[in-house]
Amino acid sequence: MSMSEYQYYEFRVDEGSLSAAEMKVMNSLSSRAVVTSQMASYTYNYGDFRGNSKKLLEKHFDAFLYLANWGSRQLIFKFPKSLIKLQSLRPFQWEGVIDVYAHKDFIVMDIDLSEDEGGGDWIDGEGWLEAILTLRKDILRGDLRLPYLAWLQAFSNSCLDESEAKKVKSPAVPAGLKNLSPALVDFVELFEIDRDRVREKAKQSAKLKRPLPQASLKAALAKLPTSTKDKYLLKFLQGIPDTKVELGNLLQKN
């Protein structure tokens, strides 16, 4: 049976898990709920999700994806303020398309590349957020290719005339555009990023800096003060999310 409407909402925890109480809340929002300790998804062929997606993300999750068969594509990531600076994401803002804002202890990046006049290929939502979730941690490690690709598409969709386009301040071209990771390839496909424009910008892109080898990481770890190592060990034992990324960033700098 053909369906005239398709909407897909998915929320995910990057690390840790939902509590039993949180899972109960997510199940209560719809009879269409599919809920596990790491995610909640909702599929609609008529009607709308009655929850507030952004507020649910801010309170319970790290990532959110919304797809609809009339061309809507939205991805939201939440980052701890302690690991990322708001100004690092500011250059990628585009009114009505890419929104970056601070909220309490975290920063949110909301990418909405929906087609204004509808359209776009029909695509099922299952599996996509899991495939691109690693990009959240990449951003926390300083890899800004995802927001740059989103900005590039926002610029491409803007329909600015030549004189207006020249006035737009472009963010710096990030390293690594010549060799996109599998997750970035999925992001490009899902959000229908202009591949020709990406290839053109890739000519200006430097090689991505390789992470330190294990021997260098061990040496950097050995140099850390005992109090610092104890702090991170306690964070690991407490299961504080993104501790591995935080420690990795510190070791990369040392």
Low-confidence ranges of the chain (pLDDT < 50): 1-2
pLDDT for 253? 80
Query: Cα separation of 243 and 115, whole Å?
Result: 37
Q: Are residues 89 and 174 in the same domain?
A: yes
| Residue 164 falls in which region: left (phi positive, over 0), alpha (psi -120 to 50) or beta | alpha
Residue 241 domain-assigned (yes or no): yes
Q: Are residues 144 and 245 in the same domain?
A: no
Helix axes 145-157, 195-202, angle to 10 degrees: 120
Q: Are residues 50 and 114 in the same domain?
A: yes
Query: Cα separation of 41 and 66, whole Å?
Result: 10
Q: Are residues 98 and 222 in the same domain?
A: no
Dump pLDDT digits (tens) for 88-117: 999 999 999 999 999 888 999 999 988 765
Instruction: Look up residue 124 and give its two tokens.
Output: 């099922």
Q: Are residues 97 and 186 in the same domain?
A: yes
Q: Are residues 11 and 116 in the same domain?
A: yes
Residue 102 domain-assigned (yes or no): yes
Q: Are residues 108 and 230 in the same domain?
A: no
With 0-12 / 13-18 / 19 or more C-beta atoms within 10 angstroms meaning exposed / middle / buried, residue 8 is buried
Q: Which domain holds residue 229?
A: 214-253
Task: List the beta bridge partners of residue 5.
Answer: none
pLDDT for 1? 38
Q: Are residues 29 and 139 in the same domain?
A: yes
Residue 207 domain-assigned (yes or no): no
Q: Are residues 125 and 86 in the same domain?
A: yes
pLDDT for 2? 46
Degrees, nearest 5: CA angle 207-211-214: 150
Q: Are residues 139 and 191 in the same domain?
A: yes
Overall domain count for the chain: 2
Residue 190 domain-assigned (yes or no): yes
Contact 175, 205 (CB under 8 A): yes
Query: Cα separation of 14 and 78, whole Å?
Result: 10
Q: Are residues 122 and 172 in the same domain?
A: yes
Residue 87 domain-assigned (yes or no): yes
Residue 179 domain-assigned (yes or no): yes
Q: Are residues 157 and 112 in the same domain?
A: yes
Residue 2 domain-assigned (yes or no): no
Residue 78 domain-assigned (yes or no): yes
Helix residue ranges, H only, the chain: 20-28, 53-60, 86-89, 128-132, 134-140, 145-157, 162-167, 182-190, 195-202, 214-223, 226-238, 243-253
